[in-house]
């Protein structure tokens, strides 16, 4: 009896799913573990993989919405058996004993597929091929860099062999798409050129040219792109006085995220300023000893992270979020720090900042900055923050109104430090001043709480010894 492929349960409130994309065709032979289909619900997308090897029979077409538990395909295991018996090695005889049999893996073709990167991610962009079409690759070599709307990842080769690129750079493809194939073993690639000649005779004719290998089947969506080298290379299109290029997935995600934030939250911003003299003086006094002991510099950001933690403890309304008709109060302090990259803004999260010292925070920030620069940020690095800090001052910003990072209820904007005249004990003095901006969700946080929160940060920065004593 064929093995049934059913729509799995995806949560108590989900009663149906949409058959979004079949990755294997009707009648195609599949292996155990192959991604068969992408299913979409009103909340998440997930992929079903084959539990057994056999021939696939598709029962429900793409685009159809079906109930949970519906049988959408069957896998006939019996039809896969003959293929396995044909590949079994023949018994050794006196005639075959002297002939060295090729390796069982040599000549095998394996697919390079776009891996799953999270429930909400359904596609990826082929950002850069690290190996070229026809290159000989080794197991563990980085083949390609993929970009989703959240992170970048690198795919490594699972086997050694010859690479055949199927999808060019710049193309966006679904999760599970085969973007390349590897013919395992260098011998498999050279076999057509070194076909064994027949035993020599007195009037031996020239050896016939080797029969060309059968062309690989390429998906129709990409065959036109592989016709010429010019079509494979994706470049911006110049139109006289303008240049048009495709928006990256990260930039598209940022755009959608920011627009949604403006439309779903009642964002209001309050301002203040902080005298940075005490922090700057403290850094100058301890910097050399701090570097010698911890191996990293003492920056401004660790002071602001610790100040935010203290303010969140004192004004817990800012450390909460709205979920439908409920308020979720957070009792942990995972703070996101916005980092600008060439491809866009990412916000990695510093975990348990209330339990970490200045050195640990500085090391975490440095590690995230390196991962962002190298395009190795993971989706787990960006999830779960309760508050965000954005430092526009690194680019010279004097004042701004930062946008919330939903579902968070607050974001702090730091700005450039400027020498300005201020009144100190009845006298005018020149002090290094920084404008601070707190944007907050007015649906949850009242003006009094927002102002109190920002003043708490100001007090911590102007009296940094209070941070050390957690006062």
- Domain locations along the chain: 1-91, 104-187+214-231, 251-468
Looking at residue 189, its pLDDT comes to 42
Burial class (CB in 10 A: 0-12, 13-18, 19+), 416: middle
For the segment(s) 251-468, the CATH number from 3.30.365.10, 1.10.287.130, 3.40.30.10, 3.30.559.10 is 3.30.559.10
Fold of the domain built from segment(s) 1-91 = OB fold (Dihydrolipoamide Acetyltransferase, E2P) (2.40.50)
Looking at residue 107, its pLDDT comes to 65
Looking at residue 21, its pLDDT comes to 87
Topology alike, domains 104-187+214-231 and 251-468 = no
Looking at residue 214, its pLDDT comes to 39
Q: By the 8 A CB rule, do 439 and 338 touch?
A: no
Burial class (CB in 10 A: 0-12, 13-18, 19+), 191: middle
Indicate which residues carry an active-site annotation.
442, 446
Looking at residue 9, its pLDDT comes to 81
Structure tokens at 443: 């649906």
Return the CATH number of the domain spanning residue range 104-187+214-231. 2.40.50.100
Looking at residue 79, its pLDDT comes to 65
What are the two backbone dihedrals, phi and then psi, of residue 402, each rounded to the nearest 5 degrees?
-65, 150
CA-to-CA distance for 166 and 162, rounded, in angstroms? 13
Structure tokens at 66: 């079906």
Looking at residue 98, its pLDDT comes to 40
In tens digits, the chain (471 residues) has pLDDT values of 789 999 888 665 678 888 988 999 998 999 988 889 988 876 566 788 898 899 999 999 988 888 888 999 999 887 654 444 444 444 444 444 443 444 455 568 889 998 887 666 788 888 889 999 999 999 899 999 888 766 778 889 988 999 999 999 888 888 889 999 999 875 444 444 444 444 444 444 444 444 444 344 343 333 333 333 333 344 567 778 899 887 776 677 778 878 888 888 999 999 999 999 999 999 999 999 999 999 999 999 999 999 999 999 999 999 999 998 999 999 999 999 998 877 777 899 999 999 999 999 999 999 999 988 887 888 789 889 999 999 998 889 999 999 999 899 999 999 999 999 999 999 999 999 999 999 999 999 999 999 999 999 999 999 998 787 776
Structure tokens at 21: 């994309």
pTM of the model: 0.57
């Amino acid at each position: 009896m064929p093995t049934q492929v059913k729509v799995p349960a995806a949560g108590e409130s989900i009663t149906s799913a949409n058959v979004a994309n079949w990755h294997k065709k009707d009648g195609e032979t599949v292996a155990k573990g192959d991604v068969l289909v992408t299913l979409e619900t009103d909340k998440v997308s997930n992929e079903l993989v084959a539990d057994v090897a056999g021939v696939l029979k598709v029962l429900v077409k793409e685009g159809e919405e079906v109930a949970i538990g519906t049988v959408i395909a069957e896998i006939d295991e019996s039809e896969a058996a003959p293929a396995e018996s044909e590949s079994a090695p023949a018994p050794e005889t006196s005639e075959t004993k002297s002939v060295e049999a090729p390796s069982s893996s040599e000549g095998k073709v394996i697919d390079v597929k776009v891996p799953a990167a999270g429930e909400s991610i359904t596609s990826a962009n082929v950002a850069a091929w690290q190996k070229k079409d026809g290159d000989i690759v080794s197991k563990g070599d980085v083949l390609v860099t993929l970009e989703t709307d959240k992170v970048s990842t690198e795919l490594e080769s699972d086997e050694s062999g010859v690479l055949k690129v199927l999808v060019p750079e710049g193309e966006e493809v679904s999760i599970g798409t085969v973007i390349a194939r590897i013919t395992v073993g260098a011998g498999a690639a050279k076999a057509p050129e070194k076909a064994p000649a027949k035993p020599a005779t007195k009037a031996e004719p020239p050896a016939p040219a080797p029969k060309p290998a059968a062309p690989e089947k390429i998906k129709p969506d990409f065959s036109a792109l592989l016709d010429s080298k010019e079509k494979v290379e994706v470049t911006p299109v110049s139109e006289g006085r303008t240049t048009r290029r495709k928006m990256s997935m990260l930039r598209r995600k940022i755009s959608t995220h920011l627009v949604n934030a403006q439309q779903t939250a009642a964002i209001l911003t309050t301002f203040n300023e902080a005298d940075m003299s005490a922090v700057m003086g403290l850094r100058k006094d301890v910097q050399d000893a701090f570097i010698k002991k911890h191996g990293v510099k003492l920056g401004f950001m660790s002071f602001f992270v610790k100040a935010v933690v203290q303010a969140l403890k004192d004004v817990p309304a800012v450390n909460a979020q709205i979920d439908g008709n409920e308020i979720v109060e957070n009792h942990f302090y995972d703070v996101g720090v916005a980092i600008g990259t060439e491809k866009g803004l990412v916000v990695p999260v510093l975990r348990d900042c209330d339990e970490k010292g200045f050195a640990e925070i500085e090391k975490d920030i440095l590690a995230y900055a390196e991962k962002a620069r190298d395009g190795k940020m993971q989706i787990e690095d960006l999830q779960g923050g309760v508050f965000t800090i954005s430092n526009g001052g690194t680019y010279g910003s004097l004042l701004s109104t930062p946008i919330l990072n939903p579902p968070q209820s607050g974001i702090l904007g730091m700005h450039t430090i400027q020498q300005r005249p201020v009144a100190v004990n009845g006298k005018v003095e020149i002090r290094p001043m920084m404008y601070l901006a707190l944007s907050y969700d007015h649906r949850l946080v009242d003006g009094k709480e927002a102002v109190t929160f920002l003043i708490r940060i100001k007090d911590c920065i102007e009296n940094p010894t209070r941070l050390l004593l957690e006062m």
